[in-house]
Structure 1
Amino acid sequence: MAVDIQKLFNEELPAALVKHSDAAKQIGGKYQINVTGEGGGEWLIDLSDSGPKLSSGNPGNADVTISLSSEDFQKLHENPQANSMQLFFAGKLKVTGNQMLAMKLPKLFQLNAG
């Protein structure tokens, strides 16, 4: 089933960050997520000590930037652990900045599932 990317970043993940704020801060860092194509957008997810919060846009102060198409985001969301590495090595998931933080991205999506 396809995920509604706008709903995920504008409603579901912000609610999950509030609900699981301590777990979110343990992930740490500031993530810029840029999803291109249909239903995409740009969001900053702040899991630092000043967070957790999620805001629309690209203010340019992220520790790591993750860019991918909305089609590939669907695959990532279906199975973050398996598909993140597959998409990364296929050149479909672009990561700039702190690579170690990018490895923690599946934990973020687990907060929403929990």
Structure 2
Amino acid sequence: MPDASTSFTRDIPERIAKNPARASLIGATFVFRITGEGGGTWTVALKDNAGVVPGEAEDADCTLTMTHDAWREISDHPGRAMHHFTSGVVQVTGNAMLAIKLPAIIG
């Protein structure tokens, strides 16, 4: 069960690096706001020059806000991500339809 920092500084960048073409096909920028102990804010760009940077991009297509516990659950079980979106555990602003593409990135 990775913490958010490990996910955004190691795991997700590794997944993007292994298949940058797949990441670029998503064609969106996401901001993740992970609240609580172990949380933080990261921008995941899945466009040209795909990658992850700390902080919040002003031009994000989709912003997801969740607790650190919710992040751990989603990163451990990406297939359950949609349940968390629809149940309100994860707050989504911007283009919520992009959130359905996230299991390909986080899992």
TM-score, normalised via structure 2 length: 0.91
Q: Determine the structure 1 residue equivalent to 2:22.
A: 23
Q: 1:69 is matched with which residue: 55, 67, 70?
A: 67
Cα deviation digits, residues 58-113 of structure 1 (max 9, x gap): 132100001100011111112112x2222223211000011111110101123xxx
Q: Determine the structure 2 residue equivalent to 1:12.
A: 11
RMSD of aligned alpha carbons = 1.3
Q: Determine the structure 1 residue equivalent to 2:45.
A: 46
Cα deviation digits, residues 27-79 of structure 1 (max 9, x gap): 22001111001111111011113x21110001321000011000111111121
Secondary structure at the aligned position of 2:57 is classed as: coil
Unaligned runs of 5+ in 2: none
Q: Which amino acid counterpart does residue 50 of structure 2 have in structure 1?
A: P
Q: Determine the structure 1 residue equivalent to 2:57.
A: 59
CA distance in 1, matches of 2:25, 2:86: 27
Number of aligned positions between the proteins = 107
